[in-house]
Structures are given as C-alpha cells and as structure tokens.
C-alpha cells in the first residue's frame, strides 16, 4: 500500500505528459493535411488598376501641360493690338473670311478708332434712330408746312367751279372721241338727263366726270372732296419721301459717330447703310474678332503640340478596349491589341455569324 501511494504521483505526471505530446502531434498533422490557401488575386488586380490609373493620370497631366502652354503662348501672340492690325489689313484687302464676314463692308470707317480700348456707344441704335428721325421730321414740317394744304381746297373750288346759266362755255364731249365733240355756246338750261348749250342739247352721259361735276351740284361736292384728299395724299408722300431721303443721308454718319460700324456678316451693309440692323458696336465687333482669332490660334497650336508632346512621352493614338481612339502609352496599346487578338482566337467567327462590329460578312467568291 505504501509502495502504491509512493508511485501514484509519478505515474500521473507521466500519463499527463504523454497525453499532451500526443494531442500536440495530432494538431500538427491536421495542419499539414489542410491545403495551403491560394494567394489572393485582389493584389494583382489592384496592381493592374493602379497601373491603368497611373497612365491615364499621366495623360491628363500631359493634356493640362499642352493647354497651359497653348493658352500662355496664344495670349502673347493674339492681343488686342494684333487684332487691330488684323482688322486694318483685312479692311484694306476687302477680304471675306469665314466666321468673321466680309471686311469690304467696313471700308470708309474711321481706322484710327480701331485702337483698343474702344469706348462703348452712349446710345443704342434705336435711340439714335428715334432721336434723329424726330429731328428730321421737325425740319421737314418746316420745309413742307401743313399750312400749304389750304391751297388744295382753293384749287379744288377753282377746278370744279359750277357753271351758271347764261355763261358762255366750251366743252369737249366723250373725251374727244367720235364726231361733233366740241361744243361752244351759252349755257341756258339743264335737266337730270340733258344740258342746253346754244341750240344743242347735250346728253349727260356724253360728259366726263370733271365736266359733269360743274353742272350737277351733288357730284360737285364729291369731286372737290376727292381732289383735296388726293392732293393731301400726294403731299404726305412727298413729306415721307423727304424724311426718308434725309434719314438715308444722316443716319449712317450718326451711327458711325456714335461708335457703330457696318456689320461684316450682314450682306449689303456698308458705311452708307441707313438700316440700324446692319450696324454693330465697334467694341463688340473688335472683341468678337479677338475671341475668334484666339480660338483659331489655340486650335492650330494644340494640333501641333499634342502629337509632339505625346510622342516625347512614348504615347500613340490607338483604339482602347471599346475601339475608341485615344492617346495611350505604346506598351498599353500593344497589350490591348494582344488581348483582342487572343479573345478573337478563343472565339473565332463561325460561318454566317454576325461579326462583332455588326457589319455583314462579304459574299463568298462566285
């Protein structure tokens, strides 16, 4: 019993130690049996994405550099002063230029006033027309007064003075057509249908309207009114024509003096044009030409600098994955091309199948 008691602790210690070693060994064996996890593909994708983003960022930076260079260069070459020189030369040549118009229309304008800065007009074209027209009408009313219209009534009364019984008169019948058209004698009687002149009865129907109005009072008042109205219309037309003549003479220099020039884009405009819609503010036209010249210069310089700068960085223009042409590194372009060729090799087109671009295949040879 004593021996058993003395051996028990040692026995328990060895048993526990053996169990622990066995359990640890089993864990190690189990770990070795599990296959190693495949490396995550996200890292490779992230790397590719970073590379893709990197060259596109670089391309954007190149584009910014080009724009900055173009903007700075053009700002130094296309100036307000160079625009003024351009306008002067084009006017001298009378040249027509797309988007700018026909500079021949501007011949005759004050060339010294093209120097920038150009003052804006103080009055609009409409205000100039209204003011000038009012002044012209006032002067025409003095030149052709309405008081002259009183003479029309006097002339009408004289022209259609009524014949009196006993007057010796001479008239022409039927406007001189036919025989016995001249009638001369004393006017002695009248009815609703006939007139007695000397010993000859004259039918009312053979009288022209002006002569008839001198015998019959009801017609006399009508003819006098018609005469006065007609003469007033003629006088009105005369005054209106005079106003138009003065406007044609005076409006063009008024526009020009106020800071306007003929619009080179309007066919028919010139320094002598009196229609306001054919004129444009001088400063506005200068600014318009300046902006167009600036834009054209930028487009030309960009077309030169873009291929030059991209070529220096190893870029070419090539189709991307969607077959859209864009600037990219030559290496990227080759990778895209190889990827497309590989995809085409894996998915060859079968006979009768619609090509990927949607076009029909050519017919087989006959």
| Structural domain span for residue 195 | 163-214
Is 209 domain-assigned? yes
**Element spanning 202, H or E:** strand 200-203
Q: 10 Å Cβ neighbour count for 113?
A: 14
pLDDT digits (tens, 9 = 90+) for 170-218: 999 877 676 678 999 999 999 999 999 999 999 999 999 999 999 999 9
Is 285 domain-assigned? yes
User: Which pLDDT does position 336 carry in this prediction?
Assistant: 93
User: Which pLDDT does position 7 carry in this prediction?
Assistant: 38
- Whether the model clears a pTM of 0.85, i.e. scores above it, the answer is no
- 186 and 223: one domain? no
> Residues with Cβ < 8 Å from 266, sequence gap 6 or more?
101, 105, 277, 278
User: Which pLDDT does position 272 carry in this prediction?
Assistant: 96
Is 48 domain-assigned? no
- 333 and 271: one domain? yes
- 200 and 240: one domain? no
pLDDT value at 10 more than 90: no
- 77 and 88: one domain? yes
Is 2 domain-assigned? no
Residues 251 and 269: beta-carbon distance below 8 Å: no
Is 10 domain-assigned? no
Number of domains composing the chain: 3
- 192 and 149: one domain? no
3-state secondary structure of 281: strand
pLDDT confidence tier of residue 29, bands split at 50, 70 and 90: very low
Q: Which residue has the higher pLDDT, 146 or 51?
A: 146
Write down the residue that tokens 């100036």 correspond to: 79
- Mean pLDDT in the chain? 85
Is 210 domain-assigned? yes
């Amino acid at each position: 019993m004593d021996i058993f008691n003395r051996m028990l602790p040692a026995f328990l210690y060895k048993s526990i130690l053996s169990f622990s070693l066995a359990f640890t060994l089993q864990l190690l064996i189990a770990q070795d049996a599990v296959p190693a996890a495949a490396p995550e593909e996200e890292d490779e994708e992230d790397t590719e994405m970073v590379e893709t983003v990197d060259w596109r960022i670089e391309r954007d930076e190149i584009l910014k550099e080009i724009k900055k260079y173009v903007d700075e260069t053009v700002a130094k070459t296309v100036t307000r002063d160079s625009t003024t020189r351009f306008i002067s030369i084009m006017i001298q040549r009378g040249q027509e230029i797309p988007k700018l118009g026909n500079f021949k229309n501007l011949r005759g304008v004050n060339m010294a006033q093209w120097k920038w800065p150009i003052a804006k007009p103080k009055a609009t074209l409409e205000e100039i027309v209204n003011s000038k027209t009012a002044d012209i009408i006032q002067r025409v009313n003095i030149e052709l007064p309405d008081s002259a219209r009183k003479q029309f009534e006097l002339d009408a009364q004289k022209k259609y003075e009524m014949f009196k019984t006993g007057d010796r008169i001479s008239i022409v019948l039927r406007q001189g057509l036919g025989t016995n058209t001249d009638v001369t004698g004393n006017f002695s009687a009248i009815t609703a249908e006939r007139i007695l002149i000397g010993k000859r009865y004259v039918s009312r129907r053979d009288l022209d309207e002006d002569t008839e109005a001198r015998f019959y009072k009801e017609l006399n008042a009508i003819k006098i009114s018609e005469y006065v109205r007609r003469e007033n219309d003629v006088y009105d037309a005369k005054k209106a024509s005079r106003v138009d003549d003065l406007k044609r003479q005076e409006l063009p220099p008024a526009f020009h003096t106020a800071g306007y020039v003929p619009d080179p884009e309007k066919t028919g405009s010139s320094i002598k044009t009196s229609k306001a819609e054919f004129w444009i503010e001088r400063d506005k036209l200068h600014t318009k030409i300046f902006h167009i010249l600036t834009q054209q210069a930028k487009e030309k310089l960009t077309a030169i600098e873009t291929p030059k700068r991209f070529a220096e960085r190893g870029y070419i223009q090539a189709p991307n994955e969607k077959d859209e042409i864009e600037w990219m590194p030559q290496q990227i372009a080759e990778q895209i091309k190889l990827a497309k060729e590989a995809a085409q090799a894996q998915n060859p087109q079968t006979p009768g199948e619609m090509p990927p671009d949607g076009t029909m295949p050519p017919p087989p040879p006959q």
